[in-house]
A and B are shown apart, each in its own frame.
Chain A
Amino acid sequence: MKLRILAAVLAAGVSFSFGPASAAELEVTHWWTSGGEAAAVAELAKAFDATGNKWIDGAIAGSGGTARPIMVSRITGGDPMGATQFNHGRQAEELAQSGLMRDLTDVATRENWKDIIKPSSLLDSCTIDGKIYCAPVNIHSWQWLWLSNAAFKTAGVDVPKNWDEFVAAAPALEKAGIIPLAVGGQPWQSAGAFDVLMVAIAGKDVFNKVFGDKDEAVAAGPEIAKVFGAADDARKMAKGSNVQDWNQATNLVITGKAGGQIMGDWAQGEFQLAGQTAGTDYTCLPGLGVNEIISTGGDAFYFPLLKDEEKSKAQEVLASTLINPTTQVAFNLKKGSLPVRGDVDLAAANDCMKKGLDILAKGNVIQGTDQLLSADSQKQKEDLFSEFFASAMTPEEAQKRFADIIASAD
Chain B
Amino acid sequence: MTGQANAGRPNQLLRNLNSKIASIPMILTAVVIFLGGTLWTVFYSFTNSKLLPRLNFVGLDQYERLWDAPRWVISIQNLAVYGFFSLIFSLVIGFVLAAMMDQKIRFENAFRTIFLYPFALSFIVTGLVWQWILNPEFGVQSVVRSLGWTSFSFDPLYTPSIVIYGILIAALWQGTGLVMCLMLAGLRGIDEDIWKAARVDGIPMWRTYVQIIIPMMRPVFITTLVIIASGIVRVYDLVVAQTSGGPGIASEVPAKYVYDYMFQAQNLGQGFAASTMMLITVAIIIVPWAYLEFGGRKRG
Residues of A in contact with B (beta carbons under 8 Å apart): 65, 68-69, 72-73, 76, 91, 93-95, 98, 185-187, 242, 244, 374-376, 378-380, 383, 386-391, 401, 408
Contact = CB atoms under 8 A, between A and B. Distances in A.
Given A68-B264, A98-B52, A375-B264, 18 more contacts: A69-B263, A185-B244, A186-B244, A242-B136, A242-B137, A244-B244, A375-B265, A376-B50, A376-B266, A379-B260, A383-B70, A386-B245, A387-B70, A387-B248, A388-B248, A389-B248, A390-B249, A391-B160
Contacts of A391: 160, 247-248, 250
B265 A94 contact: no
A106 B141 CA distance: 61
A74 to B, nearest CB: 12
Interface string B248-284: 1110000000011101111100100000000000000
A94 B266 contact: yes
Contact of B52 (A65, A68, A76, A401): A76
Interface in B124-168: 135-137, 158, 160
Chain A residues touching B, majority SS: helix
Interface string B61-78: 000010001110000000
A390 B266 contact: no
B158 A242 contact: yes
B51 interface: yes
Given A242-B137, A383-B249, A388-B248, A68 B51 contact: no
B264 to A, nearest CB: 5
B136 A386 contact: no
Contacts of A185: 244, 246-247
A387 B249 contact: yes
B66 to A, nearest CB: 12
Interface residues of B, number: 28
Contact of B160 (A72, A379, A390, A408): A390
A46 to B, nearest CB: 32
Contacts, number: 78
10 contacts: A72-B266, A76-B51, A93-B51, A94-B51, A376-B261, A376-B267, A379-B260, A379-B261, A383-B70, A408-B65
Contacts of A73: 263
Contacts of A408: 65
A376 B270 contact: yes
Contacts of B137: 242
B50 A94 contact: yes
B244 A95 contact: no
Contacts of A401: 70
B253 to A, nearest CB: 14
A386 B249 contact: yes
A383 B246 contact: no
A387 B250 CA distance: 7
Given A76-B52, A379-B260, A391-B160, A374 B266 contact: yes
| Most chain A CB atoms below 10 A, which of B51, B70, B160, B259 | B51
Interface of B: 50-52, 65, 69-71, 135-137, 158, 160, 244-250, 259-261, 263-267, 270
Given A376-B266, A383-B249, A94 B52 contact: yes
Contacts of A69: 259, 263-264
A270 to B, nearest CB: 21
A250 to B, nearest CB: 18
| Most chain B CB atoms below 10 A, which of A69, A388, A389, A401 | A69
A185 B160 CA distance: 13
A64 to B, nearest CB: 9
A93 B51 CA distance: 9
| Most chain B CB atoms below 10 A, which of A68, A76, A94, A383 | A383
Given A374-B266, A376-B266, A383-B71, A72 B51 contact: yes
A173 B249 CA distance: 28
B16 to A, nearest CB: 38
Contacts of B70: 383, 387, 401
A374 B51 CA distance: 11
A379 B248 contact: no
B84 to A, nearest CB: 23
A84 B265 CA distance: 18
B263 A72 contact: yes
Contacts of B263: 68-69, 72-73
A73 B52 CA distance: 10
Contacts of A68: 263-264
B266 A375 contact: yes
A387 B71 contact: yes
A63 B136 CA distance: 25
B30 to A, nearest CB: 23
A378 B50 CA distance: 14
Contacts of B260: 379
Contacts of A65: 264
B128 to A, nearest CB: 12
| Most chain A CB atoms below 10 A, which of B65, B70, B248, B250 | B248
B142 to A, nearest CB: 12
A379 B247 contact: no
A390 B249 CA distance: 8
B52 A379 contact: no
B264 A386 contact: no
A305 B265 CA distance: 23
Nearest to A240: B158
Contacts of A95: 51
A229 to B, nearest CB: 19
Contacts of B69: 380, 383
A128 B247 CA distance: 38
B65 to A, nearest CB: 8
Contacts of B160: 390-391
Contacts of A378: 265
A65 B137 CA distance: 27
Nearest to A379: B265
B62 to A, nearest CB: 11
Contacts of A94: 50-52, 266
Contacts of A72: 51, 263, 266
Contacts of B270: 376
A73 B259 CA distance: 12
A69 B250 CA distance: 23
Nearest to B72: A383
A186 B243 CA distance: 10
